Amino acid sequence: MKFRQIAATVLISAATAFASVFVYSKFQPRQAGPYQNGSDNIPVNYTSYMPGTENRNITPPTDFSQAAKIAVPGVVHIKTKINPRQVSNNLQRRRSVLEDLFGDDFFGDEFQGQGGGRKYYVPGQMASGSGVLISDDGYIVTNNHVVDDADEITVTLNDYKTYKAKVIGTDPNTDLAVIKVDAKNLPYLLYGNSDDVEIGQWVLAIGYPLNLETTVTAGIVSAKARSIGINKQAKRNAIESFIQTDAAVNQGNSGGALINTAGELIGINSAIASPTGAYAGYSYAIPVNIMKKVVNDIMKYGNVQRAYLGIRYQDPNSIPEEKWKEYGVRRDVNGVVVTDVVASGAAADAGIQKGDVITGINGINTPSIPQMTEQIARYKPGDKISISYLRDDKARTANAVLKNIDGNTNIVKATVIDALGADLVTLEKSDAAKIGIRGGVYVDNISSGILKKQTNMKPSFIIMKAGDQAVTSVEQLRGILEKQKKVQLEGVYPELNGVYYYTIDLTNGADF
């Protein structure tokens, strides 16, 4: 074949192929490509390219400088100091023959208390955190763990002015505290609405991490109503319904502000999830709607007026298979399963029964325990709420009047028991018999308070005597401590041998 014939054949083939591709693409229907959510109309797009958005009036936030400018002046640096202190040790006290013969008074204070009365010193500590100004006259919200047991609190504003602060009130259940500096005309943050916070929206975290100056980080809300168990380590009735974000937060950010892009306060940064103790991708903030209620109670009553529904509950996912038929509940239920009802509680009065599934409070869906407890936490004893629930697969509604922990609607005042700073429970007779005692008060979750500050008592201690009087209930212990301000607590640890003694002084550091 001659060269001209070969060249002509190649050109004709190329022209034919090009024409075929052109005609096919022009007249044949477009084949389906990759689509989001199984839709045939929304193509997958990459990076920042999204065709057709030119006229949708959508402007992704790219500059947070205005929000930061609004909020930064209202976030403060908190430094705390805990002075060295003397505490009684927890060694078993061995009574000598001389003490039995002559009595304790013969030997004086040196031989009083457990461990032969020996004392030791805990070294001082210094720490720092953040806080948020909420009024122009110096009221500041921070985390309880930032100011816990602090003897001195110093607040430095964004303009470097420094003030001494005092604690107005604390709430370990939500890990919140209110402190105050003596100043006027201070910048403060406006409250937003944490109910309006959406997953995926931009937020800023502002604080003083790692003892640095004011630091602003950005991220998105990655989850709501998150419970991570951190508050429950300190208090049995802890409330956790965190806003989870991926804004970078580190040690020192605690108590700082989580704001929206309008510069409004939507949460108080409180914790991070990390295997190392440093930021690893997730941070947690207390919703401002919970914070507002806690702050208002502290300002008005001096302590938080906690409302209780009077139920025991369980997440559906944690219920064993054999329990579903017993409760008469479908496994695909979306709510909080009531496993028991307190006879004198608000739920019992409203007709709630074991096996019911609470699905909403005041019309707001509560598919999980954190969401339900967050809603209840916004109310005080005496407030009326509506409860949506399922029974026998039928939706029902009941009205309830919330009560306090004592089963009534009275205002609860801080007591000497609160000053101890622990969860105290009257020991059941059956439990007491198992360890060979008549009764006592079980101590759990020792957090901020007299027991932590003046002793090294450990959780699981059982108080059997206060002074020279036997103790078999929390009410009995309260009555004794209201009369005796300095008293020796005697008791046992179920897992240890021997009797242990702790001396406490309620005139030193108690506020009730």
From 304, 319, 336, the end of a domain falls on 304
Q: Tell me, yes or no, whether 352 lies in a domain.
A: yes
Rounded CA gap, 156 and 142, in Å? 14
Place of tokens 């720092």: 128
Kindly give, in sequence order, each residue whose CB lies less than 8 Å from that of residue 177, ignoring residues fewer than 6 positions away. Answer: 141, 142, 143, 144, 146, 147, 167, 169, 170, 171
Q: Tell me, yes or no, whether 493 lies in a domain.
A: yes
Report, as residue numbers or ranges, the catalytic residues. Answer: 145, 175, 254
From 271, 304, 337, the end of a domain falls on 304
- Alpha-carbon dihedral of residues 60, 61, 62, 63, nearest 10 degrees? 160
Q: What is the CATH number of the domain that holds 372?
A: 2.30.42.10
Amino acid letter for position 17: A
Amino acid letter for position 41: N
Q: Write the pLDDT tens digit of every residue in 223-233.
A: 999 988 776 65
Range with the lowest mean pLDDT among 116-120, 136-140, 365-369?
Answer: 116-120
Place of tokens 């954190």: 370
| 445, 234 Cβ separation under 8 angstroms | yes
Q: Write the pLDDT tens digit of every residue in 443-499.
A: 988 877 899 888 889 999 999 999 999 999 999 999 999 998 899 999 999 988 889
Q: Write the pLDDT tens digit of every residue in 138-159.
A: 999 999 999 988 999 999 999 9
Same domain, 377 and 501: no
Q: Which residue has the higher pLDDT, 118 or 384?
A: 384
| 338, 388 Cβ separation under 8 angstroms | no
Kindly give, in sequence order, each residue whose CB lies less than 8 Å from that of residue 246, ignoring residues fewer than 6 positions away. Answer: 219, 220, 222, 281, 282, 283
| 243, 284 Cβ separation under 8 angstroms | yes
Same domain, 348 and 199: no
> How many domains does the chain contain in total?
3
Q: What is the CATH number of the domain that holds 267?
A: 2.40.10.120
Same domain, 300 and 315: no
| 235, 172 Cβ separation under 8 angstroms | yes
Q: Tell me, yes or no, whether 411 lies in a domain.
A: no
Rounded CA gap, 386 and 484, in Å? 44
Residue 45 has pLDDT above 50, yes or no: no
Rounded CA gap, 128 and 373, in Å? 30
Q: Any alpha helices (H) in 285-434, and if so which ranges? A: 288-301, 321-327, 346-350, 369-376, 416-420, 429-434
Q: Tell me, yes or no, whether 10 lies in a domain.
A: no
- Which of 330, 328, 67 lies closest to 206 in space, CA to CA? 67
pLDDT of residue 235: 59
Q: Write the pLDDT tens digit of every residue in 304-350.
A: 999 999 999 876 777 777 777 777 777 777 899 998 999 989 999 99
Q: Tell me, yes or no, whether 11 lies in a domain.
A: no
Q: Tell me, yes or no, whether 385 lies in a domain.
A: yes
Rounded CA gap, 341 and 352, in Å? 7
Q: Is 202 buried (19+), middle (13-18) or exposed (0-12) by CB count in 10 A?
A: middle
Q: Tally Cβ neighbours within 10 Å of residue 145.
A: 23
Report the predicted TM-score, pTM, of the whole model to 2 decimal places. 0.78
Its domain, for residue 354, covers 311-402
Report which secondary-structure segment, H or E, holds 221. strand 215-226
Q: Tell me, yes or no, whether 55 lies in a domain.
A: no
From 304, 322, 340, the end of a domain falls on 304
Q: Are strands 364-365 and 384-391 parallel, antiparallel or unpaired?
A: unpaired
Same domain, 358 and 258: no
Q: Tell me, yes or no, whether 288 lies in a domain.
A: yes
- Angstrom distances, CA of residue 7 to CA of 16, 20, 149, 286: 14, 20, 94, 78
Same domain, 217 and 352: no
Amino acid letter for position 446: I
pLDDT of residue 96: 42
Q: What is the Rg, in whole angstroms, of the alpha carbon atoms belonging to the chain? A: 31
